[in-house]
A and B are shown apart, each in its own frame.
Chain A
């Protein structure tokens, strides 16, 4: 293991530059959100004035509330459907239409959003569903359930099935086995799937723009319409808040799941 030991200067440079490339633009945005000057390029001293301005921006607050409700509902639905899909993919080796099923799970992950968005909208128009809040929820559920399925499936194929089999052999009904043995074991993956779905929904502009209707403006739609007109200090503040929300949820979640994992492991006497 000679090569592993020394971490060459070239590697260090590549890594530093790579991470700088990823984080510098975000850092600049965050710092700018505290800039007192209206001109984003002139530093006018630290200030919270754009955050105060934001608190009075009714349209933006309304959009944020729509976005959070959509994200919560669609992430929850996607987690249920995606976990079921993961169970089907990981546990049922053969069933009619399995190829189509796994194709439909993987295709949305790379499918350009304009295609998915357009096709969903045309479906809603063809069957005369009123567009708005619920159509966005449906669109986001469809996209994000695939991500949840992939995350949970990765967990399902790695864990020890003998625990499940033991429960079933001892006469525990399948649903109860699932709820008391399987679910606690895959819980970290289910939780991170939910968060991923939540983050993706909060983020989506293209799908929401296609399937939205009157009265349902999400935060990205709102931000997008402002950004098209140029840089605005208020937008920097919104973005900083969104970054802070996502980052703190992630940190909390990784702490929580780690603790839960240890507890589940101790309770089941299994090494995770």
Chain B
């Protein structure tokens, strides 16, 4: 089947699509990030005009300038946005790791016949709308919402606290939305673990907590790395969650980019912001691509078997 025309179609059709609608757009972004803002339609200069021939091409390149990058570097607003995104992404990934690990561990230790259903339950919210899940938290976090009511009823608080439009709300929203992305790679790594290793450790007199730290955690490093990257990278560019739950005082870079584009209609600066964000994310994306891209394969396949597909295969082999 190696050389059939079917294979050629299988390569060419998606390849052409992705080059046209994924790769080419980035080149356009780079080009526009080097353009100038203009009050025109489209709102940037120079506009590439193939009819002008070589002379036009020369003028086109001469008109490109790094102004947008200069203004990004010179304005602390943008710098703070990047820093804020970096901070939120780092901390929420850490929180996700701390909260997700026990759940993934418990999943991996749950009785075999229940594991399928439990994994399904963790993945299920992933299928319901992202926007709905964030919106659900507005219901809870608003001033007279359920969280305040509950905390007052429990006498933890005397008076309602403003949760919305704070960083805490952003963290809650992010941790909630990305929870399955952290739990599943961790689960996949922990489930694979050979438990006789723990038995050996305990037979040799190692206390459980130490066995956990010296055996379980090191063996789950691929899962930790995959889950962290899977969360960190998209959180860096997150727009919806900080926009709906956060305050406007310090915007994350996704919000700043959005505002530059839709609010100020400064397309070159918005493009330059995107290019810089992409450069920042390039390293984590490459690590993710190289090391643990396959963990993703286990995510949505669960509809067919009730198990993430990679895991199902392993179980079949074992059976």
Q: Which residues of A approach B to under 8 Å, CB–CB?
A: 1-4, 7-8, 10-12, 14-15, 17-19, 21-23, 25-26, 28-29, 32, 39-41, 81-82, 84-85, 87-88, 91-92, 95, 97, 100-101, 103-116, 118-120, 122-123, 125-126, 138-139, 141-142, 145, 147, 149-151, 153-155, 158, 164, 168, 174-175, 177-178, 188-189, 191-193, 195-196, 199, 202-203, 205-206, 210, 220, 223-224, 227-228, 230-231, 235-236, 239, 242-243, 246-247, 250, 253-254, 257-258, 261
Contact = CB atoms under 8 A, between A and B. Distances in A.
Given A118-B270, A199-B127, A110 B230 contact: yes
Nearest to B101: A14
Contact of A189 (B26, B271, B304): B304
A22 B179 contact: yes
B166 to A, nearest CB: 16
B111 interface: yes
30 contacts: A14-B103, A25-B140, A26-B133, A28-B146, A41-B142, A41-B146, A85-B10, A87-B7, A101-B18, A107-B22, A110-B285, A112-B233, A122-B32, A123-B28, A126-B48, A153-B297, A155-B301, A158-B313, A158-B316, A174-B6, A175-B6, A189-B304, A191-B303, A196-B300, A206-B239, A227-B138, A227-B244, A228-B244, A231-B138, A231-B142
A102 to B, nearest CB: 8
Most chain B CB within 10 A, of A126, A138, A205, is at A126
B2 interface: yes
Interface of B: 1-2, 4-7, 9-11, 13-15, 17-19, 21-26, 28-29, 31-32, 42, 48, 99-100, 102-103, 105-107, 109-112, 118, 121-122, 124-125, 127-133, 135-140, 142, 144-146, 149, 176, 179-180, 183, 195, 198-199, 229-230, 233-234, 236-240, 244, 254, 257-258, 261, 267, 270-271, 274, 277-278, 281, 285, 288-289, 293, 296-298, 300-301, 303-306, 309-310, 313, 316
B10 A87 contact: yes
Contacts of A14: 102-103, 105-106
Main secondary structure of the interface of B (DSSP, over half): helix
Contacts of B277: 112, 115
B141 to A, nearest CB: 10
Contacts of B257: 114, 118
Main secondary structure of the interface of A (DSSP, over half): helix
